A and B are shown apart, each in its own frame.
Chain A
Amino acid sequence: MILVIAEQRDGRLNRASLETIAAAQSTGDTVRIAILGSGVDGVAGELGKADAAEVIVVDDPALKEYTADGWVLALEQLIAAEKPDRVFLAHTYQTRDFAPALAARLKRPLVTDCIAVTGGGYVRPMFQGKLQAEVAVGDAGAHLATFQIGAFRADQMKAGRAPIRRAAVAVDGSKIRQQPDAPFKEARQAVDLSQAERIVAVGRGIKGQEHIELAQKLAQAMGAELAASRPICDAGWLPMDRQIGSSGQTVAPKLYVALGISGAIQHLVGMKGSRTIVAVNKDGEAPIFEIADYGIVGDLFEVVPALIAALNG
């Protein structure tokens, strides 16, 4: 039996959980779905529309806000009671916060960021997506696995009617060491890149802040907004509100030009829905070429000026 731990915030289901249910269903094994929180009947009802043996609700006042300790305490009990062979989770920031501690407490292996399930294990990216690995869990038996966002499709989740049950789990709130404040957004983003028709985005290949101007010129020539991958914003070469990816904005413009971006998954999730993707990179093996429609393998400091000349010529 596979137990899928679904995720919600403020009573809203994270759609990545549906992808994980689809991953569990694809194995042909019995699927149960758990949802944690306080007052989450609405989300449980939504999950009940999946083809699964059961939706198990872990409802406790101590689970009103997410904390790593609260989730580990609750899931430790739930897993002891349900005895799943496998526990599946979406590889979200929340999962990354508690799942390794849960696995360690259960003394079970955890395979993270999986993109496929195979007969004997899983497939996961390594070396920032430049390589993939088949990973066997061996004779360890019961284990946990997390799935990369987008590796399975929510619309491939089989629908059905799953009965809803409340689990007999109680969380001792005094054992929770993290005290969270309410989530908040930073001051409104000045640039809404999701509305841009065309985007020119720069990555590590741009090498220095002084070269940003070159990308800016190409953006002007294309009628595009300028954006960047995370390392560029981390370095302060462009403001954070120009960042594309899992921690920045998600965009799907008509044209996306990636300059010197290798294509780490954290970036790809923010732009892979773009209609036409162009990649310019000196490394022909860079993962960005896996999703690019057009590619030029070459030095962006030679290619970009040539592009500007071709556009203006």
Chain B
Amino acid sequence: MKIAVCIKQVVTREWQLRVNDQHTWIRDQDASFELNEPDAYALEEGLRLKEKHGGEVVVCCAGPARATQVIREALARGADRAVHVESDALATADASAVADALAAAIRDEQVDLVLTGLQSDDQGFGQVGVVLAETLGIPHATIIMAIEKADATLRVKRELEGGWFQWVTLPMPALLTIQSGINQLRYATLKGIMAAKKKEIRKVAPPAPPSSGPRITRLYFPEKGKQTQLIAGTPAEAARELVKRLREEARAL
């Protein structure tokens, strides 16, 4: 089974966000970056499928040169090789531009299965995987919590809302967007990190970007909708004050 796993590089969750002077993107020149966490679950699922059924895991990334960091990490965790569609514009691109770029990476690979995370931690469109399936002309299913393979078909467990699930059968090749929590993540070993240095990263030129898509006109910190009573002081003082207010004011204790 040949599996393509799409990954994205995003700013780390711990990095204190700052908005640029034009209010169109974050000031990410001095940010730290990491593998988009939902994509880490997709990668792990790809590696497990390969271990069970044999084959190859090809990591595909559409992003700027700095995304090599997360490509190397994916290779260190066990992916066999990578395709990098490299362009600075892809760092802030909309969903259809990213899907077009990933399609350019995957189209010639003749894969049986494409896996993506559910959405990215930065823009959070939740679109790229499904648009990519449509672009490649293959069936898809989203928010997947289990994958069973039988010959040329997949049986997958979709998560619905409110604790409901549903099994769906679909033919391969197919694309699945993976729900976080489907598996337990592995981390790169020293051996894996060393091996990754010798693995191939094929560079692919990005396709022409679409002429007009949605664009961010203003990025800002949301105004607080509710007046939060922030309680200051040392931990002991704040704790005593909070308990007092919860008892006397909110009557919640």
| Residues in A lying within 8 Å of B, measured CB to CB | 67-69, 92-94, 96-101, 103-105, 109-113, 120-121, 125-140, 143, 177-186, 189, 198, 204, 222, 230-231, 233-236, 240, 246-250, 254-255, 262, 275-276, 278-279, 283-285, 287, 289-299, 302-303, 305-307, 309-311
**B203: interface (CB < 8 Å):** no
Chain B residues whose CB sits within 8 angstroms of the CB of A182 once the complex forms: 166
Interface SS of chain B:
mixed
Q: Are B142 and A293 in contact (CB under 8 A)?
A: no
B: residues with CB less than 8 A from A are 11, 13, 16-17, 19, 26, 94-96, 99, 121-131, 133-135, 139-143, 158-171, 179-181, 184, 212-222, 224-226, 228-231, 235-236, 238-240, 242-243, 245-246, 250, 252-253
Which residues of chain B are within 8 angstroms of A68 by Cβ–Cβ distance? 130, 139-142
Residues of B within 8 A of A140 (CB): 212-214
> Hey, which chain A residues are within 8 Å of B218, CB to CB?
133-134
Q: B168 and A179: CB pair below 8 A?
A: yes
Q: How far is the CA of A140 from the CA of B219 in the complex (A)?
A: 21
Choose from B122, B216, B243 the contact partner of A307 (Cβ within 8 Å): B243
Q: Is the CB of A138 within 8 A of B212?
A: yes
Chain B contacts for A204, CB-based, 8 A: 13
B131–A101 CB distance below 8 A: yes
Residues in chain B near residue A305, CB distance under 8 A = 235
Structural contact, A101 and B133, CB atoms closer than 8 A: yes
Q: Decide: A120 near B131, CB < 8 A? Known: A182-B166, A276-B252, A294-B242.
A: no
Partner of A178, one of B124, B169, B184: B169
| Closest-CB distance, A44 to chain B (whole angstroms) | 22
Q: Is the CB of A178 within 8 A of B139?
A: yes
Q: 16 A-B residue contacts at CB 8 Å?
A: A96-B126, A97-B158, A120-B217, A121-B214, A132-B222, A134-B218, A139-B212, A181-B167, A235-B184, A275-B252, A276-B252, A292-B228, A294-B231, A294-B242, A294-B250, A303-B235
Which residue of B123, B131, B162, B224 is within 8 Å of A104 (Cβ)?
Answer: B131
